[in-house]
Structure 1
Amino acid sequence: MEHLEIERKFLVTSEAYKLDATAKTRIVQGFLNTHPDRTVRVRIKADKGYLTIKGKGNASGTTRFEWEKEISLAEATHLMDLCEPGILEKYRYAVCFGGHVFEVDEFLGDNKGLVIAEVELQHEDEPFEKPSWLGAEVTGQIKYYNSQLSQTPFNQWNP
């Protein structure tokens, strides 16, 4: 079975998404490996733990291998201690719009001020309706990958 993630990422231009959010979840995540060809992520989402392996994206950055397994909260907590420096914290909002679910990440800590929306698609060319709060597309721009935000946080970027 092939595990492919097909998604597009966008900057968010206003907090209007919060009005339509159906869920808000706190996420803490760290990376055991941030190699450009593969990342290994540990995530605590609400009260559940996850271990995720992601491969290198294709040329457009929309498609890449992703394998995820739920692990116990205790395992995730212990693995978090082994992660590279730069633990990420964020709130994730689920927003249904135009037949798709947009996951909007409002980053905290050293990435505070950065808000990114992702929409998962069935195929790269799948059309979707864009909400008014969706800004510039950043799909495939490596600096917006969570693994890179853990190493070079938003507050260290040059204006």
Structure 2
Amino acid sequence: MTTTKRLLRSLPAEYRDRLMELAREVSFPEDARIFEEHGTADRFWVIRSGAVTLDLQLPGRRVVTVETLGTGDLLGWSWLFPPYEWGFGAEALSPVRAYEFDGADARALCEQNPALGFAVMRAVAEVLGHRLHTARSRLLDLYVPHTAEPL
């Protein structure tokens, strides 16, 4: 299991059940834009089925896919941190079914129950670290000249 598949699975059952009380089931058709880079991050999703690409608009270049997410993955972490703005864009690569959570409601739940809040924060931080590492690796692959000798 990758670190991106840990949000719900890493929470103790009591906390997972409390968080799931906030969930609603949604779906996105293939090629649907779920959110845009720099848009307002007011919600997040846990993917139940399908695939979503995370992308980044590079200045003077095309949009670059930095990661593909699938079943069990957390989609969106910017809802947790001010200024609540997406750092990436997201698009459905295939039809997607997901649990959707309102960011303000989830933050309020975390504030009401600090132990639950710590568990959620830790799980999201693991996802964030993984995503940043993946994005960095992808961008290095695209822009660092490949040579026969290691750098």
TM-score class, shorter-chain normalisation, is under 0.3
Structure showing greater Rg: 2
* Larger proportion of helix: 2
TM-score (normalised: structure 1): 0.27
TM-score (normalised: structure 2): 0.27
